[in-house]
Amino acid sequence: MRYFLELAYRGTAYHGWQRQPNGISVQEVLETALTTVLREPITIVGSGRTDAGVHAGQQFAHFETAKELPETLIRSLNGLVSNNIAVYACFPVRADDHARYTATFRYYQYTIIRRKNPFRTDLAYVFAHPLDVALMNEAASLLVNHTDFESFSKVKTDVRTFNCRIDFAYWEEQADGTLMFHIKADRFLRGMVRAVVGTLLAVGQGQLSVASFDDIIRARDRKRAGRAAPADGLSLVEVGYPAEVFTMRQNPPAL
């Protein structure tokens, strides 16, 4: 039987989602906890591979087991993982439902604060320089006109295509000066959101024009884009699936 997990994590302490030979990952922690509870080797597949230091308010993963799951599974998992990971639900899905490939969209937010705040350490990027948010939004609006985003992808990556369908991309300025970048797409390339944010910050500082930002996208050359923004401001906040994926989910989720 295949199951989906719904979870969240604060990524500061982890070397990203995916197992790494040189550091602890969210995937490794969850697989260890599941293996301990179910008493058999468990491997999980996530909806996406967040980078080191990136957070997730919502993440999904799937795993398979022939065993009947204990009623206390969620409580047991949360007792085994650290406080920076929370497992919210586990529910059966169809055999061909896949955490990564069945997903229809991913929605990320990037948070920028204008002065140091000890209560938001590692959860936002402190950026005090003046920014033209209107220009940044004008440039961001161009993203939906394109499909090839090689200019914002990490150079060494094993993808077959750099095409993504972006549904929206915009900046929101809050009353306290916090800037929130919202971007939703069917898929994202490795390092893509951070590279987009870093390049848009160059537009906001007057280092790049809106036309130059469009030229960078068309160039399909990572060297033309700006430096990637730090990981701590980035969070995966929602992953979308067809409604059929959730037909066997308990409501509310078992604790």
Return the biggest CA–CA distance within the chain: 59
E strands in 186-225: none
Domain that holds residue 135: 105-236
Active site residue 122: no
Partnered with residue 62 across adjacent β-strands are 4, 45
Residue 251 has a pLDDT of 56
Specify whether 34 is located in the same domain as 64: yes
Instruction: State the average pLDDT for the chain.
Output: 95
- The residue among 101, 135, 158 that closes a domain is 101
Distances in whole angstroms, Cα of residue 154 to Cα of each of 53, 111, 163: 16, 21, 14
Name the token pair of 242: 């067809």
Is 82 among the domain residues?
yes
Compute the average pLDDT of residues 66-87.
96
Is 229 among the domain residues?
yes
At 176-186, the pLDDT tens digits run 999 999 999 99
Does 90 have pLDDT greater than 50?
Answer: yes
Q: CATH code at 153?
A: 3.30.70.660
Q: CATH code at 16?
A: 3.30.70.580
Instruction: Give the phi and the psi of residue 64 in degrees, each rounded to 5.
Output: -130, 145
Which is the catalytic residue, given 51, 96, 158, 176? 51
pTM here?
Answer: 0.94
Question: What is the C-alpha to C-alpha distance for residues 248 and 93, in angstroms, rounded to an integer?
Answer: 7
Consecutive H or E run containing 91: strand 85-93
Give 196 or 159, the one with higher predicted confidence. Answer: 196
**Inter-residue contact 239 to 5 (CB < 8 Å):** no
Specify whether 153 is located in the same domain as 94: no
Does 252 have pLDDT greater than 60?
Answer: no
At 5-34, the pLDDT tens digits run 999 999 999 999 999 888 999 999 999 999
Question: What is the C-alpha to C-alpha distance for residues 17 and 11, in angstroms, rounded to an integer?
Answer: 8
Does 254 have pLDDT greater than 50?
Answer: no
- The residue among 101, 132, 158 that closes a domain is 101
